[in-house]
Amino acid sequence: MTDARTPGSIEGDQQETDASSGFTTLWPGDVGSLREDSRRALLELVQGPYLSAANRGRLWLALLADTDAIRSRLHDLFLDLVIDRADEIAFVRPVDAGDRAVPLAVRTRPLTFMDTLMLLVLRQHLLAARGERRVFIDRADVYEQLAPYRVARDPADFERRMNASWTKLMNKLGLIHRAGGDERVEISPALRLIFDDERVEALRLEYERAIERGAAALDDREPVSAGDEESER
């Protein structure tokens, strides 16, 4: 989508329209066709893990205004756009190209066994509270639900791993947010979208087998595709 507005200013930068091309130019030689906020929304989606109206209100509105153009840019990168208008969240994932091999456009980093267990516990709470606008949980409740996975591991080491995953989900992935203190958090609804039912069932079966193998399973790391399930992009 092009923007044929008169010269203006956004956040202190001049944004002008090239009369010959109709492009919105932000700097000399700029041939991009998206407005500045739409470009920032596109970048936020690619950088991940998601774009939220709650945290990026202007960019969310830009995404809604320029959805088709942004989707087109993402398809150029072999990425698909997923928008949940009810929860006002959007993210990207690799396109489903069938038998055609396509490159991965976003960086994938592994989640530890503990990371994913914790994500699944949080997702379960989201599903149990379906219909509620905001879902909160205490750290102690999450840790209690993870206790059966300790197996024969040293309790102090197990707690250290839980603490590391809790910090990652809050500071790097942005899937939990402080709600009045370090112990109580709000769960991002993005988690319900990123981990679909099929993926959760596959993980559950794998982890049941891992528990049977013993405590060493907690050292395993499983690479998870950015946007398709979860990542630290």
pLDDT at 166: 94
Contacts of 134 (CB under 8 A, 6+ apart): 186
Burial 92-127 (b: 16+ CB within 10 A, else e): bbbbeeeeeeeeebbebeebbbbbbbbbbbbbebbe
pLDDT at residue 96 above 70? yes
pLDDT at 193: 78
Tokens representing 142 are 């999450």
Q: Which of 96-100, 148-152, 183-187 has the weakest average pLDDT? A: 148-152
Question: What residue ranges do the domains of the chain occupy?
Answer: 8-94, 110-223
Q: How does pLDDT run across 64-87, given as a tens digit for each residue? A: 999 999 999 999 999 999 999 988
pLDDT at 231: 40
pLDDT at 70: 98
pLDDT at 90: 94
Please tell me whether residue 115 adopts helix, strand or coil conformation: helix
Q: pLDDT: is 139 or 131 the higher one?
A: 139
pTM for this model (two decimals): 0.68
Asked if the domains at 8-94 and 110-223 fall in one CATH topology, the answer is: yes
Q: What percent of the chain has pLDDT over 90?
A: 39
pLDDT at residue 1 above 50? no
d(CA 52, CA 174) in angstroms, rounded, equals 11
Mean local confidence (pLDDT), 1-12 = 37
Domain 8-94 belongs to what architecture?
Orthogonal Bundle (1.10)
Q: What rounded mean pLDDT belongs to the chain?
A: 79
User: 110-223: which CATH topology?
Assistant: Arc Repressor Mutant, subunit A (1.10.10)
Q: What is the CA radius of gyration of the chain?
A: 21
Q: With bands split at pLDDT 50, 70 and 90, how would you rate the model's confidence at 201?
A: confident
Backbone angles phi, psi at 123, to 5 degrees: -65, -40
pLDDT at residue 9 above 50? no
Tokens representing 154 are 């040293």
Backbone angles phi, psi at 91, to 5 degrees: -155, 170
Mean local confidence (pLDDT), 13-36 = 72
